[in-house]
Amino acid sequence: MLTEWSAECGADDPVIEVPWTSPDGALRWTDLRTDPHAVDEITEADEYPALLAALRALNASRSPVYTSKCDVWEMDADELAHLRADLLLEEDVATAGITSYIDIVVADRTTFASRHQAEQLMHRIDRMAGELPHSLAKLELVLRPAVVDFDAVQEGYAITLYVKGCGVDIFEANERWSAALRDVARLIRGMQPRS
């Protein structure tokens, strides 16, 4: 699997917040770690079984992370052209694509608070995911500033995972994306934080 990482930690870059509520109040953070059945409230998880499986794995009690936000969409022509270029594919091999993102927050407060440790975790995910056998998929990892406010406000770092898959049609793209997302979620769930 092709992987790449970056850090977007500037003053104008997005911040991952937990908990959060959309401005209109229609959407909000759902704590899937303490209430796994609340995944039913996430419409994308209902529409995409691979996302459902990934959210369950990433929010499992033994997982080193939990999730903040997620989304899934079919790629537009520009996104698909970029993915084809990244994967060195001919146009007829990749005529459709699916992308998802999941914001993950490290549960260990020491790792969460340390940019150095968060970067080390991101590099480990990048290195291990690069060995996954998904030639029509890509993982992008973006380190971002984060704020968690349960009992007290804590600032630190979190990671946005972008998983992309493509194929000759939307059905194959969904299969490629689904397989890659499931494997990435399994890989992360099985990791142990390092100090």
The predicted-structure confidence for 130-181, as pLDDT tens digits, reads as follows: 999 999 999 999 999 999 998 889 999 999 999 999 999 999 999 999 999 9
pLDDT band of residue 195 (cuts 50, 70, 90) is: very low
Query: pTM score, two decimals?
Result: 0.95
Does 103 score more than 90 pLDDT? Answer: yes
**How many separate domains does the chain show?**
1
Q: For residue 118, what are the CA distances in angstroms to 60, 83, 105, 114?
A: 20, 26, 10, 6
Asked if residue 194 belongs to a domain, the reply is: no
The 3-state DSSP class for residue 139 equals strand
Q: Give the dihedral of Cα atoms 42, 164, 131, 103; nearest 10 deg.
A: -40
**H or E segment and range at residue 177:** helix 170-189
Asked if residue 35 belongs to a domain, the reply is: yes
Least reliable range by pLDDT among 32-36, 70-74, 167-171: 32-36
Asked if residue 195 belongs to a domain, the reply is: no
Asked if residue 159 belongs to a domain, the reply is: yes
C-alpha to C-alpha distance for 60 and 76, rounded to whole angstroms: 33
Range of the domain at 149: 2-189
